[in-house]
Amino acid sequence: MPLFDIYISPDEPVYVISVVSKLVELPVWTLRQLDKAGIVCPKRIGKKSRLYSLKDVKKLEYIHYLMEDRHVNIHGIRIIIEKEEIE
């Protein structure tokens, strides 16, 4: 059986919200709130489906750390992320 190396760009939206929720250990409703707040904005397919990229997942891992370990709320996370993107 041949093996294929598949390259998926880190910017390519391929992960559905339920999978991302499990990967980053954040509930779906939290992911929706982060989207609503403009912190992590996945690509929309149709009106309801959200697709996340690997970059989004990495960002959400950091957000999970901020929420769980540093006890930062969504408003604080937005400020931190915006500040880090400017630098």
pLDDT over 90 at 77, yes or no: yes
15-16 and 43-45 as β-strands: parallel, antiparallel, unpaired?
A: unpaired
- Could you identify the residue written with the tokens 């912190």? 39
What residue segments make up the domains of the chain, in order of their start? 15-86
* CATH class belonging to 15-86: mainly alpha
pLDDT (0 to 100) of residue 85: 86
pTM of the model: 0.90
Mean pLDDT of 55-64: 98
Determine the straight-line distance between the first and last CA of the chain, rounded to whole angstroms.
48
